[in-house]
Amino acid sequence: MFIFVEFGIVLLFLVTLIYILKKDKKELNFFIISVIYAILFENMNIILSQDQPGSYYYNKNFTFNILHVPLFVVLSWSIIIYSSKKISQNIPIKYYSTFFVSSLLVLMIDLSLDIVAIRLYYWYWNGYKFNEGFFGVPANNYLGWLLVSFVFYTVYEILKTKKINFLIKSTMTLLASYSIFLFLFLAINSINKIAGFDKQQQFITLAIFASIFLLFIRLEHKKIKLELFSFAIRMPFYIFGLVNILILKIYNENIVILLITILFILFELILFLLAWYYESKQKVKARNS
């Protein structure tokens, strides 16, 4: 079963890379750096938090690994981080809002997949049972993905315009992104400990940050170019989660597990229709002008 997932993600990655090379070359550097960052981020997290409560480790039975991390995890992260960025750029919101929306879109897939992945024994959380945290996943995991994606998007965009060597710029992006993320994550984790939050109460912190991100979303009438690919390449992740929830009857644990995945699929469909509507409206306006 593992090998099918691994080859499936490799195929999705190659499809995404080919699309970028043919249709979206301006994002090629971002995509490449995101792969390297995923390798750095995942391995550092596993090493630094080893054996601590809330830390994680991957199943040793995957065929392709980069140090402590399965290759498919690295490639998945790059696909998700790229598609989230493209979707946020092609809906009618302000430029600064794209950082917040992109990060929330990353979080949505993580919320849908992690609860399924641990039940398929892709990876394990130290000190967490399936009935703890968010159906077996710590709140810090989701907060971590929200922060790491936001910091990565922001640092990349800030350094993108700097006229410096690509290798130096890439290195600065990687080091700055991880350093800032680690500082924020450790600071928030310390606050949780000082507040005495237990495994469930830590979701209050996640809810606060998600709410803050939502508050920074502002609509703006701008030219929209609908890119179906950005939406389509994400669907296999949602479908994988949904199919396994149904086949393995994971919904018997709690129907919320099923409803969350369905809700996020519908939400992404709404985003697609919103982008399609605005693009169609612009085309009609252009023809009439």
What value does the mean pLDDT of the chain take?
93
What's at 248, amino acid-wise?
A: L
Instruction: Give the count of domains, the chain.
Output: 1
pLDDT computed for residue 165 by the predictor: 85
The whole-number average pLDDT for the span 207-226 is 90
Domain residue limits at 161:
2-288
pLDDT digits (tens, 9 = 90+) for 23-48: 999 999 999 999 999 999 999 999 98
Cα gap 150→137, rounded to integer Å: 21
More confident residue, 117 or 227: 117
Are 39 and 74 in contact by the 8 Å Cβ rule? The answer is: yes
When pLDDT is cut at 50, 70 and 90, the band that residue 212 belongs to is very high
pLDDT digits (tens, 9 = 90+) for 123-132: 999 989 999 9
What's at 215, amino acid-wise?
A: L
Look at residue 122 and tell me whether its pLDDT is greater than 90.
yes
Cα gap 228→251, rounded to integer Å: 30
What's at 224, amino acid-wise?
A: I
pLDDT computed for residue 225 by the predictor: 81
pLDDT computed for residue 55 by the predictor: 87
Q: Tell me which long-range contacts 199-202 makes (C-beta under 8 A, separation of at least 24).
A: 199/128, 199/132, 199/133, 199/138, 199/139, 200/132, 200/133, 202/133, 202/138, 202/139, 202/140, 202/143
Look at residue 286 and tell me whether its pLDDT is greater than 80.
no
Strands (E), the chain: 56-58, 65-66, 69-70, 123-125
DSSP codes joined into one string, 136-189: TB-HHHHHHHHHHHHHHHHHHHHHHTS-S-HHHHHHHHHHHHHHHHHHHHHHHH
pLDDT computed for residue 164 by the predictor: 84
pLDDT computed for residue 1 by the predictor: 73
Are 32 and 74 in contact by the 8 Å Cβ rule? The answer is: no
Helix axis angle for 71-89 and 28-48, nearest 10°, is 130
pLDDT digits (tens, 9 = 90+) for 133-174: 999 999 999 999 999 999 999 999 999 888 888 889 999 999
pLDDT digits (tens, 9 = 90+) for 49-58: 887 888 899 9
Cα gap 64→47, rounded to integer Å: 19
Angle ∠(127,36,26) on CA atoms, nearest 5: 130
Burial of 63 per CB tally in 10 Å (0-12, 13-18, 19+): exposed
Look at residue 285 and tell me whether its pLDDT is greater than 90.
no
pLDDT computed for residue 21 by the predictor: 97
pLDDT computed for residue 124 by the predictor: 94
The whole-number average pLDDT for the span 227-240 is 95
